[in-house]
Amino acid sequence: MKKYAMETMVGIFLVFGLLCIGYMTVKLGHVSFLGDNSYSLFARFTSVTGLRVGSSVHMLGIEVGRVERLTMDQKDQKAVVEIRIQEGIKIFDDAIASIKTEGLIGDQYLSVDPGGAGAPLAPGGTITETQSAVDIADLIGKYAFGEVKKQ
C-alpha cells in the first residue's frame, strides 16, 4: 500500500511540474490560446534594420505591444511593420513611430508617440509618420573620415 501511495505522490508532483513548465512557456513566449486582448496597426518605414518579429513596442516608456510581422511593399519600396497593441491603448492618426535602440549596442524596439490632435486609429490602421533607426556605424564612419561638419 505504501508503494502505491509513493507512486501516486510522484505522479501528482510530475503532472504539477509539467503544468508549471507549460504555463511558463506560454507566458514567457508571449503565446495566447484564449483570445488576444490586442489589435493590429501598420507602419511603413524606409528601413527596419535591426528590428525583429517579437521586438517590443513602447509608448511613453511603457511596453504596450509587440512587432507581429515584417513585410515589404514592392510597389512603394517600403518595409511594412505590423504591430499588436494592447486593447484600450489609443493611438491617433497623427502618431509618430520610430525605431530606437536600447542602450549603446542593445536591441532595436519600436517607439510610438501617440499623437492626440487627430482621430483615433481603427484596428488595421496605418501610422503614416515614421522615422527609421539611426545607423551608428554610418555616423561613426562619417565622423572618422571628416564628413561631419562642426558648427
Please tell me the total count of domains within the chain.
Answer: 2
Q: Is the pLDDT of residue 96 over 70?
A: yes
How far CA 93 is from CA of 13, 67, 108, 116, in Å, comes to 52, 19, 24, 8
Q: What is the pLDDT of residue 112?
A: 92
Is 24 a residue whose pLDDT tops 70? yes
**In a domain? residue 122:** yes
Share of the chain above pLDDT 70, in %: 87
42 and 27 inside one domain: no
Do 25 and 48 fall within a single domain? Answer: no
For 24, the domain range is 1-31
Residue 71 has a pLDDT of: 93
In-domain check, residue 150: no
Residue 67 banded pLDDT, cuts 50, 70, 90: very high
Query: What size, in residues, is the chain?
Result: 151
- Residues 8, 74, single domain; the answer is no
